[in-house]
Amino acid sequence: MSDGSKVLLGVLAGAAAGVVTGVLIAPASGKETRDTIADKSEELLEGVRDLINKEKEKVGGKSSSKSEQ
């Protein structure tokens, strides 16, 4: 994993922690809070999937360029 990817993953994790903290201290009903956490979790998961796919493309591109040489 490249340094840029590690930074991005750290930023995503920090953002997720901030969102969860904000949701938990916000004055909302239990159901609203659970729904919000579920929505934000799905957004975070989507971001992580995108990051993984980008890393796979980088690794795939590097290995194919080495085999061409």
Q: Is residue 47 one of the residues assigned to a domain? A: yes
Put simply, whether the predicted model's pTM sits higher than 0.85 gets the answer: no
Is 11 among the domain residues? no
Residue 36 lies in a domain: yes
Indicate the range of 15-24, 35-44, 59-68 predicted with least confidence.
59-68
Query: Given a cut of 50, is residue 9 above it in pLDDT?
Result: yes
Counting the structural domains of the chain, the total is 1
Residue 16 lies inside a defined structural domain of this protein = no
Mean pLDDT of the chain: 78
Which domain does 55 fall in, by range? 29-60
Using the structure block, give the residue that is written with the tokens 């080495």.
66
Q: How many C-beta atoms surround the C-beta of residue 45 within 10 A?
A: 11
**In this structure, is residue 52 part of a structural domain?**
yes
Look at residue 56 and tell me if it is in a domain.
yes
65 domain-assigned? no
Q: What pLDDT does 69 receive?
A: 44
